[in-house]
Amino acid sequence: MGNRLAGKVAVVTGGNQGIGRAIAERLAEEDCVVAVGDLLQGRADATNAGKLSFLVLDVTDEASIRAFVDQVLERFGRIDILVNNAGMVIHKSIDDQTAEDWDRLMAVNLRGPFLMAKYVVPEMRRAGSGAIVNIGSVEGYMVNPWHTAYAATKAGVHGLTLGLSVDLGPDGIRCNTVCPGWIDTDLNRAYVEMHPDRKLIERELSYLHPAGRIGAPKEIANAVLWLVSEESSFVSGEMISVDGARTKKIPLPAILDEEYRSKLTETSV
């Protein structure tokens, strides 16, 4: 427990579970009051009781966003931090994707962060300071198969970050993006468990990351904490990958990569 964010009020979208929940809890640990906006209602544990509030929010609905922001201001009087975490993914080829699939992804992953910023920024501007962190993805610049629409939304989030950092800098508001690698969330774990050889999939996922393992939600939360704290006061407009160097390693054919994999296995044991 610390006090790096004492007196601050943060909004975290999609913060009821997974990476969003880890972010909300990490900010609360630093004495920040956190309003979690989610379609699903959660509850704070004993450690963060009094620091986490759970409110209904649909980031695809402008009226819901406006009502959510009004409610946060009515309760807490200010908003210093915005973390746009809410997101979704659809696994479909371009042939199978529908216009409705595309529009849904755009509404959640890109339009939502835009509208959240639109309604939160005036409060930050009045205070003369603020920090926005968007949760992007390594798929904003490298893409898994069947993720065309998802990758397009995350590349859009990266562009939104650049634009906001430039436009809002004179108002004392910073904007950055955290781009996670493969993180051990309930959603990703369920995807792994669909495969008959779970251990093989986990091992292969670890090999993708030169760090020799996949990441934990708290590691994303720690990056977000740094970006919203005064410790990063001159950092804005950045896309920061938290991916164990996954995006930095050039792929090799498996036969050539074997020695490297063996070294990773030895290091990880």
CA–CA separation, 225 vs 229, rounded Å? 6
Q: Which of 216, 222, 229, 201 is nearest to 130 (CA)?
A: 229
**Token match 């200010």: residue?**
78
Given 150, 191, 207, 260, the catalytic residue = 150
**Residues contacting residue 142 through CB under 8 Å, at least 6 positions apart:** 247
SS3 at position 187: helix
Sheet holding 239-242, edge to edge: 52-56, 33-38, 9-13, 81-84, 130-135, 173-180, 239-242
191 as an active site residue: the answer is no
How far is 52 from 37, CA to CA, in rounded Å? Answer: 11
Length of the chain (residues)? 269
- Written as one letter, the residue type at 108 is V
**How far is residue 95's CA from residue 173's CA, in Å, rounded to a whole number?**
41
Q: Count Cβ atoms within 10 A of the Cβ of residue 203 and give its class: 0-12 exposed, 13-18 middle, 19 or more buried.
A: middle
Instruction: Identify any residues that bridge with 173 across adjacent strands, giving them in sequence order.
Output: 130
Question: In angstroms, rounded to a whole number, what is the distance separating the alpha carbons of residues 143 and 127?
Answer: 39
Active site residues: 150
